Amino acid sequence: MATRTLKTGTGKTSGKPRRSSRGSSAPVAAPQLPGISAAERKKLAQEEARWRAENDLRTLRQAEEIRRDPGRLKRAATMAAEEMKALQAVRAIKRGG
């Protein structure tokens, strides 16, 4: 879960977690497009939800392929470890350390 610093109006900040919409099962809001009827917006929202489900399925299939391939999984884990080190270095700079 992502954390965002929020202004509280008192000059202080809050480190409260922010909920991410990524991976949310909430219905997709119909886009607000001028000149498009409510029925067309609903259809667009349904198409977007279908596309998202298809994309999620592709992602899950790819994840399973990676889990079943030891070499691929090891390379992905190595890349993840390198990324974590880079992010920790950025975090240390931000904190002045």
Q: pLDDT tens digits, residue range 24-83? A: 566 666 567 788 899 999 999 999 999 999 999 999 999 999 999 999 999 999 999 999
Answer for the pair 34, 41: CB distance below 8 angstroms, yes or no. no
Nearest-5° angle of CA 68, CA 77, CA 1?
105
Quote the CA–CA distance of 78 and 84 in Å, as a whole number. Answer: 10
State which amino acid sits at residue 89: A
Assess contact for 59 and 46: CB atoms under 8 A: no
For residue 12, give both structure tokens. Answer: 């202080």
* pTM score: 0.53
